[in-house]
Amino acid sequence: MMSSILLRRSAALAVSRGRVSSTLFAPISNFLASPVVVDGGVIPAAEFGHFSSIGVTERPLGFGFQSKGFHAASGPLNFKASLVSQTGFALEEYDDASSSRSGDEGLEIGKLGIAPEIVSALAKKGITKLFPIQRAVLEPAMQGRDMIGRARTGTGKTLAFGIPILDKIIQFNAKNGRGRNPLALVLAPTRELARQVEKEFEEAAPSLDMICVYGGTPISRQMRQLDYGIDIAVGTPGRLIDLLNRGSLNLSEVKFVVLDEADQMLQVGFQEDVEKILERLPQKRQSMMFSATMPSWIRKLSQNYLTNPLTIDLVGDSDQKLADGISLFSIVSDTYGKASIIGPLITEHAKGGKCIVFTQTKRDADRLAYAMARNFRCEALHGDIAQSQRERTLSGFRDGHFNVLVATDVAARGLDIPNVDLVIHFELPNNTEIFVHRSGRTGRAGKKGSAIVIYSQDQSRAVRMIEREVGCRFTELPRITVEPDARVDMFTGGGSYGGFRDNQMNGLERFSIKRGPSSGRPGGYESSRFGRSMGRNSGPNSGSFGSFGRNSNNAGNFGGPGSGRSEILETLAYLMTIWMTIRELGEGISKLKWEQHISITGKQLPWIHDDFFP
Ligand SMILES: Nc1ncnc2c1ncn2[C@@H]1O[C@H](COP(=O)(O)OP(=O)(O)OP(=O)(O)O)[C@@H](O)[C@H]1O
């Protein structure tokens, strides 16, 4: 009780904040004097150039906004982007900034006049120089511009919008005291991403109070936390609306709003909710949208939400839409062979790191995770899994407790998981944007990684289309033939895993792989790097339906043929089939509604995303 009183912020401060804030949004007349910004509000990638000439070293205090409330009034920061085409791409800049070469290419965060708290918190994480998107965003964001920001996956967009917001709030609190209602709101499409953004903000500015709100968790705790007072709210639209409707969340003092993964946030299905939230914000605010993909429709639509927006586009019209460090491969397989070739692909391409396998449906994620669990430490992640389990799964994956995550597109966007060396598109994504995001779970922050598309012969055209639209080239891998007794069958349940059942060996020795005639490669899967870890899950009698799609460490619970438990096993398999059929029916109905919606509204491609069918 006492602590709640102590923690509750004073209403007087909130009032004083309201008074101050009204002066904070004066139009910025001299902003366009900055040589980086092309009039009309676009910084094309090709003109972004090197920022090595930014005059920060001559101006140790960097920006002059400390005493100016939220918006700088000090004019341009002497950004002198060298004209055109020296770099073009964010990652080239990144490579420079992240390389061991010293040089001036990056912007020393410590020399920019950013709050010392942020500088030292970032330094603790090894972040001392800004990435290109961060450099490009910093000045206009500090000056209060609305903006659309696009940069490739894994290039630091979160801190690009995070640093200016955190800095302004720290300055503001220092001057005006702390208030009760949030000053900034970040909307994210998935719970996992919302949590990640909150965490990154928290780590960068530990003195600020953040809340992350999303469904599947007790709302009462969130209401209490809001009551104590917070600086920044991060969340998914559904729960935010719930809290607004209950009167627990007051957005009337919000100065900054960010739509992370904006193109997803404004898709049909999400857009309505987002609008409901935006309606509750003050008119005078700074709005920013970020994503690695910004289809043309989103740019048009964004005009409804942004005022005179600046577009900072580090991808631009460049052919290549993927992060540079990602190598792409494709491999043809028939539907029934797909599950069997994943093991060899992981062994060969994950190089001992983590792998995310993307499926199109929750059911396939479950089935595949189950089928693979006998050979890999592997779990499933999708929208039908209870939130607490989703969180356990993700943190287990982050911490390296298991190496293979089989996920729907709920994990396609934004997630920043260390050491994901391989992404496998078990099924082709619905569109090229999703391809970019899925693949972007690897090759982050300048690291290298691989993405493999598995496709059937009749999907060749779709693969070519991805190549065209994403500006990439797949290296075709030789076909893999799997001996019948080594097939992993995810379609028919436990009964068809016989090839593994009586095999006492662990690891990939079981795969008995042969390369097809076109293969010039050695088979060479016998000595799996995963061998030892897989062994944990793949007891000779694996077949745990109890762990289906969950923690595969339970594999083996129900034994295999000859265990005397075959009846239980069969019953469970039967129950599972019924459960899956019911769920499939549910998904079918939702999709039908979705497609009807599209045909009525004429909007958008049928982005079949799991979060639309929670
Ligand atoms: N200036 C920096 N120096 C070093 N590391 C950084 C810097 N900025 C961000 N990072 C790290 O880079 C990684 C990727 O950043 P982030 O998740 O923001 O990428 P993103 O562009 O939002 O990707 P996506 O499009 O997939 O959402 C994170 O681990 C982050 O901590």
What the block records as the tokens of 364 is 């396939």
Q: Is the CB of 130 under 6 A from ligand 1?
A: yes
Take atom 5 of ligand 1 and give the residue whose Cα is closest: 127
CB atoms within 10 A of CB 542: 26
User: What's 508-539 look like in SS3?
Assistant: HHHHCEEECCCCCCCCCCCCCCCHHHHHHHCC
Take atom 14 of ligand 1 and give the residue whose Cα is closest: 154
Helix (H, G, I), strand (E, B) or coil at 554: helix
Q: 8 pLDDT exceeds 60? A: no
| Cα 612–chain centre separation | 16
Give the whole-angstrom CA distance, residue 347 versus residue 355: 10
Give the whole-angstrom CA distance, residue 398 versus residue 428: 25
Top mutation candidate among 95, 127, 201, 315 for ligand 1, by most atoms within 8 Å of CB: 127
Distance 369 CA to ligand 1 centre (A): 28
Q: Which of 94-103, 211-220, 275-284, 575-584 has the lowest mean pLDDT?
A: 94-103
Give the whole-angstrom CA distance, residue 204 versus residue 114: 12
Determine the pLDDT at residue 230.
97
Take atom 2 of ligand 1 and give the residue whose Cα is closest: 127
Determine the pLDDT at residue 504.
27
Top mutation candidate among 153, 234, 444, 447 for ligand 1, by most atoms within 8 Å of CB: 444
Q: 509 pLDDT exceeds 60? A: no
Q: What is the mean pLDDT of residues 588-600?
A: 45
Q: What is the mean pLDDT of residues 331-341?
A: 91
Q: Are 314 and 294 in contact (CB under 8 A)?
A: no
Predicted model pTM = 0.71
Q: 544 pLDDT exceeds 90? A: no
What the block records as the tokens of 483 is 């001996």
- CA dihedral for 551, 553, 554, 555, sign (positive or negative): positive
Distance 159 CA to ligand 1 centre (A): 7
Q: Is the CB of 159 under 6 A from ligand 1?
A: yes
Give the whole-angstrom CA distance, residue 5 versus residue 24: 30
Q: What is the mean pLDDT of residues 460-472?
A: 95
Residue with tokens 């936390």: 225
Q: 81 pLDDT exceeds 90? A: no
Give the whole-angstrom CA distance, residue 429 versus residue 359: 8
Q: 221 pLDDT exceeds 50? A: yes
CB atoms within 10 A of CB 586: 12
Q: Is the CB of 445 under 6 A from ligand 1?
A: yes
Give the whole-angstrom CA distance, residue 196 versus residue 256: 19
Q: 393 pLDDT exceeds 70? A: yes
Q: What is the mean pLDDT of residues 336-348?
A: 91
Q: Are 476 and 330 in contact (CB under 8 A)?
A: yes
Determine the pLDDT at residue 205.
98
> What does each C-alpha distance from 434 to 271, 292, 551 come to in angstroms?
18, 10, 27
More confident residue, 412 or 562: 412
Q: What is the mean pLDDT of residues 53-57?
A: 26
Q: Is the CB of 164 under 6 A from ligand 1?
A: no
Q: Are 454 and 333 in contact (CB under 8 A)?
A: yes
Burial of 39 (0-12, 13-18, 19+ CB in 10 A): exposed
Virtual torsion, Cα 150, 154, 160, 165, nearest 10 deg = 110
Give the whole-angstrom CA distance, residue 588 versus residue 574: 21
The residues, ordered by sequence, that sit 6+ positions from 118 with a Cβ below 8 Å of its Cβ are 109, 163, 166, 167, 170, 204, 205
Top mutation candidate among 157, 234, 423 for ligand 1, by most atoms within 8 Å of CB: 157
Give the whole-angstrom CA distance, residue 79 versus residue 35: 6
Place 489 in a pLDDT band, splitting at 50, 70 and 90.
low
Q: Is the CB of 441 under 6 A from ligand 1?
A: no
Q: Are 480 and 344 in contact (CB under 8 A)?
A: yes
Take atom 1 of ligand 1 and give the residue whose Cα is closest: 130
Top mutation candidate among 131, 423, 441 for ligand 1, by most atoms within 8 Å of CB: 131
Q: Is the CB of 541 under 6 A from ligand 1?
A: no
Give percent of the chain with pLDDT exceeding 90: 55
Minimum-distance ligand 1 atom for the alpha carbon of 151: 21
Distance 153 CA to ligand 1 centre (A): 8
Q: Are 133 and 157 in contact (CB under 8 A)?
A: yes
Q: What is the mean pLDDT of residues 570-586?
A: 70
Determine the pLDDT at residue 204.
98
Give tens-digit pLDDT for 404-444.
Answer: 999 999 999 999 999 999 999 999 999 999 999 999 999 99
Give tens-digit pLDDT for 279-330.
Answer: 999 999 999 999 999 988 888 888 899 999 999 999 977 777 899 999 999 9
Average pLDDT score, the chain: 73
Q: What is the mean pLDDT of residues 96-112?
A: 60
Helix (H, G, I), strand (E, B) or coil at 330: strand
Give the whole-angstrom CA distance, residue 252 versus residue 258: 15
The residues, ordered by sequence, that sit 6+ positions from 573 with a Cβ below 8 Å of its Cβ are 493, 494, 495, 545
CB atoms within 10 A of CB 40: 8
Q: 272 pLDDT exceeds 70? A: yes
Q: 104 pLDDT exceeds 80? A: no
Q: What is the mean pLDDT of residues 561-569?
A: 50
Distance 12 CA to ligand 1 centre (A): 38
Supply φ then ψ for residue 381, to 5 degrees.
-140, 120
Place 570 in a pLDDT band, splitting at 50, 70 and 90.
low
Distance 14 CA to ligand 1 centre (A): 33
User: What's 567-581 look like in SS3?
Assistant: HHHHHHHHHHHHHHH
Give the whole-angstrom CA distance, residue 487 versus residue 481: 10
Determine the pLDDT at residue 491.
57
Q: Are 488 and 542 in contact (CB under 8 A)?
A: no
Supply φ then ψ for residue 419, to 5 degrees.
60, 30
Q: Is the CB of 294 under 6 A from ligand 1?
A: no
- At residue 466's C-alpha, the angle toward residues 409 and 416, to 5°, is 40
Give the whole-angstrom CA distance, residue 252 versus residue 280: 7
Q: Which of 244-253, 398-407, 465-474, 562-571 has the lowest mean pLDDT?
A: 562-571
Distance 445 CA to ligand 1 centre (A): 6
Q: Are 234 and 212 in contact (CB under 8 A)?
A: yes
Determine the pLDDT at residue 434.
96
Q: Is the CB of 157 under 6 A from ligand 1?
A: yes
DSSP secondary structure letters along 307-356:
SS-EEEESSTT-S--S-TTEEEEEEE--GGGHHHHHHHHHHHHTTTSEEE
Q: Is the CB of 107 under 6 A from ligand 1?
A: no
Minimum-distance ligand 1 atom for the alpha carbon of 193: 27
Q: Is the CB of 42 under 6 A from ligand 1?
A: no
Determine the pLDDT at residue 269.
86
Distance 451 CA to ligand 1 centre (A): 19
Determine the pLDDT at residue 496.
33
Q: Is the CB of 414 under 6 A from ligand 1?
A: yes
Distance 447 CA to ligand 1 centre (A): 11
